[in-house]
Amino acid sequence: MSGHSKWSTIKHKKGATDAKRGKIFTRLIKEITVAARMGGGDPDGNPRLRSAIASAKTENMPKDNIVRAIKKGTGELEGAVYDEILYEGYGPGGVAVLVECMTDNRNRTVADVRHFFAKSNGNLGESGCVAWMFDKKGLLQVEKEGISEEQLMEMALEAGAEDVLEEDDEFQVITAPESFDAVRDALEAHKVRFIDASITMIPQNNIEVTDEKIAISLLKLLENLEDHDDVQTVHANFDIDDELMEKLS
């Protein structure tokens, strides 16, 4: 695998479990609320809100939930006020980890995140310690069924995408953040089906994890972080070869 989004690929394989826990809707509601608070409730004039709504629709979130989240963000309905925080650190094997959070209690969140790192023999670091190892990009994960890599590449590059990659049972379309909406809209117009579409952090380089114990510990750290209510997204710069992943599955 190329390693561009190893953790993203692993997450989607266990996505059904996360959906049962209500994690996906909770995270999307937070994102919609914060986006509306920061940029207003009109998605036409608020790209972040427009993207959050598109993600919510991809997950089949009811329209009423979306409307309520927007109104909480604009102050029309009462709701918790969330702060956005980015935590950075090193996991097992020296893997760089970024943790994007939305929380109404910073002290609780940082204590929990620090605990997860320490429990996995990692370290929560200072701001800026690993963020420089990642590039902010648009990532659209596309189902392989019904479309060839050549077809997708032609459509995506024409719309302004930077690259198209093949990852196991999906294609990944990489865009600059400012081109993300245009590429997504163009692919949607061609009835392309997304597994997920978001602005994310893609590692510039990846650490090869070959030791089974380190791999187990690393994946446990990432799962613990993902399962936390205050965590929106986790990014990490690692790669595990398919043979070892098969063994760990």
What pLDDT, on the 0 to 100 scale, is given for residue 8?
67
What is the side-by-side order of every strand in the sheet holding 163-167? Answer: 163-167, 170-175, 134-143, 194-203
Q: Give residue 116's domain range.
A: 83-132+206-248
Query: Is residue 220 included in any domain, yes or no?
Result: yes
CB 38 within 8 A of CB 48: yes
- Cα–Cα distance for residue pair 43/241, rounded to 1 Å: 41
What pTM value is reported for the model? 0.85
Query: Is residue 216 included in any domain, yes or no?
Result: yes
Q: Is 175 exposed, middle or buried (0-12, 13-18, 19+ CB in 10 A)?
A: buried
CATH of the domain at 229: 3.30.70.980
Query: Is residue 97 included in any domain, yes or no?
Result: yes
Q: Which two tokens stand for residue 166?
A: 């093949």
Query: Is residue 125 included in any domain, yes or no?
Result: yes
- Cα–Cα distance for residue pair 45/230, rounded to 1 Å: 27
Structural domains in the chain (count) = 1
Q: Which two tokens stand for residue 68?
A: 């309520």
CA dist list (Å): 150 to 125, 134, 156, 182, 197: 42, 28, 10, 19, 20
Query: Is residue 141 included in any domain, yes or no?
Result: no
Query: Is residue 7 included in any domain, yes or no?
Result: no
Q: Smallest Cα–Cα separation from 11: which of 232, 203, 204?
A: 232
Contact partners, residue 230, CB within 8 Å, separation at least 6: 101, 102, 103, 105, 108, 109, 112
Query: Is residue 2 included in any domain, yes or no?
Result: no
Amino acid at site 166:
E
Helix (H) or strand (E) holding 112: helix 106-119
Query: Is residue 8 included in any domain, yes or no?
Result: no
What pLDDT, on the 0 to 100 scale, is given for residue 2?
38
Residue 37 phi/psi, 5° resolution? -65, -40
pLDDT less than 70: residues of the chain: 1-21
